[in-house]
Amino acid sequence: MLAQPDGTGIADLQHRFGQAVLQAPLSVPDGIRRDLGPTRERRFGIYRNNVKASLAAALAARFPVVERLVGKELFTAMALVFIERHPPRSPVLAEYGANFANFLEGFDPTADLPYLPDIARLEWARLVAFHSADASPADIGLLTELPPEMLGSAQLGLHPAMAVIASPWPIVSIWTTNTHDETPQPPAADWTGETALVTRPHLEVFVHRLPQGADRLVAELAHEQALGAATEAASRAHADFDLATTLSTLFGAGAITTLS
Partner 1 sequence: MTVDRLPRAGAGLKPEHQRHILDARPDVGWFEVHAENYMGAGGPPHHFLERIRALYPLSVHGVGLSIGSADGMAPGHLARLKAVVDRYQPFIVSEHLAWSTHDGIFLNDLLPLPYTEATLSLVARHVDEVQTALGRRILIENPSTYLRFDGEEMPETEFLHALARRSGCGLLLDINNVVVSAANHDFDARTYLASFPHEHVAEIHLAGHAVLERDGETLFVDTHDRTISLEVWRLFREVIAHHGPRPTLIEWDAEVPAWQDLEGEVRQAQSVLQATGDFDARAA
31 lines the binding site for partner 1 (CB under 8 A): yes
What are the start-end ranges of the H helices in 86-226?
A: 100-105, 116-131, 141-144, 171-180, 214-222
81 lines the binding site for partner 1 (CB under 8 A): no
Residue from 26, 61, 81, 93 binding partner 1 (CB under 8 A): 93
Separation CA 31–CA 10 (nearest Å)? 10
- The pairing of strands 163-167 and 194-199 is antiparallel
Size of the site for partner 1 (CB under 8 A): 53
Q: Site map for partner 1, 54-73, x if CB under 8 A?
A: xx--x---------------
Residue from 24, 73, 89, 106 binding partner 1 (CB under 8 A): 89
187 lines the binding site for partner 1 (CB under 8 A): no
Q: Please state the separation of Cα 192 from the chain's center in Å.
A: 22
Separation CA 45–CA 50 (nearest Å)? 8
80 lines the binding site for partner 1 (CB under 8 A): no
* Contacts of partner 1 in 135-174 (CB under 8 A): 160-161
Name the one range near partner 1 by CB under 8 A: 44-52, 69-77, 99-107, 220-228. 44-52
Is residue 151 exposed (0-12), middle (13-18) or buried (19+ Cβ within 10 Å)?
middle
Spell out the residues 6+ positions from residue 19 whose beta carbon is closer than 8 angstroms to its own: 29
The closest of 77, 83, 73, 74 to 23, measured between CA atoms, is: 83
CB of 254 to partner 1, least distance (A): 14
Q: Smaller CB distance to partner 1: residue 94 or 111?
A: 94
Q: Are the C-beta atoms of 19 and 84 separated by less than 8 Å? A: no
DSSP label at residue 184:
P
Q: Are the C-beta atoms of 152 and 140 separated by less than 8 Å? A: no
Residue from 23, 27, 39, 136 binding partner 1 (CB under 8 A): 39
32 lines the binding site for partner 1 (CB under 8 A): yes
Q: Smaller CB distance to partner 1: residue 132 or 231?
A: 132
90 lines the binding site for partner 1 (CB under 8 A): yes
CB of 246 to partner 1, least distance (A): 26
Helix (H) or strand (E) holding 249: helix 243-252
74 lines the binding site for partner 1 (CB under 8 A): no
Residues in touch with partner 1 (CB under 8 A): 1-4, 6-11, 13-15, 17-18, 21-22, 31-34, 36, 38-40, 42-44, 46-47, 50-51, 54-55, 58, 87-94, 129-134, 160-161, 200, 203
